[in-house]
């Protein structure tokens, strides 16, 4: 299984965001901005990972479509 650095960063930043949120709720130490920016960055990492997976999936579908179109045209040429 291939290790994806974006997935690892997502989990690290999610843990940091939760810790900051708890710290803000009980200790009132970090600012709201710091907590929100951590959550926003975490969400952006997840969206980036999902978009990369979608791009790879679309490329696979495009290759499959190209393969089937080529084989269909080859099969028609053989039948004639």
Write out pLDDT tens, residues 24-53: 888 877 788 888 888 888 888 888 877 777
pLDDT at position 9 over 70? yes
Average model confidence (pLDDT) across the chain? 79
Helices 5-26 and 32-79, interaxial angle, to 10°?
Answer: 150
Three-state SS annotation for the chain: CCCCHHHHHHHHHHHHHHHHHHHHHHCCCCCHHHHHHHHHHHHHHHHHHHHHHHHHHHHHHHHHHHHHHHHHHHHHHHHC
pLDDT confidence of residue 29: 78
* pTM of the predicted structure, to 2 decimals: 0.59
Greater pLDDT, 10 or 3: 10
Can you tell me the mean pLDDT for 10-18?
88
Q: Where are the domains of the chain?
A: 5-79
């Amino acid at each position: 299984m291939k290790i994806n650095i974006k997935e690892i960063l997502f989990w690290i930043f999610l843990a940091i965001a939760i810790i900051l949120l708890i710290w803000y709720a009980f200790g009132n130490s970090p600012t709201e901005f710091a907590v929100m920016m951590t959550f926003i960055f975490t969400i952006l990492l997840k969206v980036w990972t999902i978009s990369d997976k979608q791009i790879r999936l679309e490329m696979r579908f495009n290759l499959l479509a190209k393969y089937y179109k080529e084989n269909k045209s080859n099969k028609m040429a053989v039948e004639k």
